[in-house]
C-alpha cells in the first residue's frame, strides 16, 4: 500500500497532467503546476473520492501547495479514525 503522501502526489500529477518529479512538497498547485480554478475543483473531487472524505470549499480555497494538500488529507483521515 502506498503512503498518503505518495497517493496524494500521484493523484495531483494525474489530475494536473504533470510529471510526478515536478510534484514536490513546495510546489504551488497554480503557480508551479499550472492548475486553474476548474483543475482545483476536479482535484478536490478526486481527493474526496480517493480518500473517502469531504473537503469543504472554504478549506479547499486555503490549500495552495502540495504539502498543504498532504497535511490536510492526513488531518482529515486522523479525525475520521478518531471519531470511529
What pLDDT score was predicted for residue 5?
A: 97
Query: How does the average pLDDT of the chain come out, rounded?
Result: 94
Asked if pLDDT for residue 37 goes beyond 70, the answer is yes
The answer to whether the CB of 29 falls within 8 A of the CB of 43 is yes
pLDDT tier, 2 (very low <50, low <70, confident <90, very high otherwise): confident
Catalytic status, residue 25: no
22, 36, 39, 71: which one is catalytic? 36
Asked if pLDDT for residue 59 goes beyond 50, the answer is yes
Question: Could you give the percent of the chain with pLDDT greater than 90?
Answer: 90
What pLDDT score was predicted for residue 4?
A: 96
Q: Domains, the chain, ranges and CATH?
A: 4-83 (1.10.1200.10)
Amino acid at each position: 500500500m502506498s503512503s498518503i503522501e505518495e497517493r496524494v502526489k500521484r493523484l495531483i500529477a494525474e489530475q494536473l497532467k504533470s510529471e510526478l518529479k515536478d510534484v514536490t512538497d513546495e510546489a504551488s498547485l497554480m503557480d508551479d503546476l499550472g492548475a486553474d480554478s476548474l483543475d482545483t475543483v476536479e482535484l478536490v473531487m478526486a481527493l474526496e473520492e480517493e480518500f473517502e472524505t469531504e473537503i469543504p470549499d472554504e478549506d479547499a480555497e486555503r490549500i495552495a501547495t502540495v504539502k498543504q494538500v498532504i497535511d490536510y488529507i492526513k488531518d482529515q483521515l486522523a479525525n475520521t479514525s478518531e471519531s470511529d
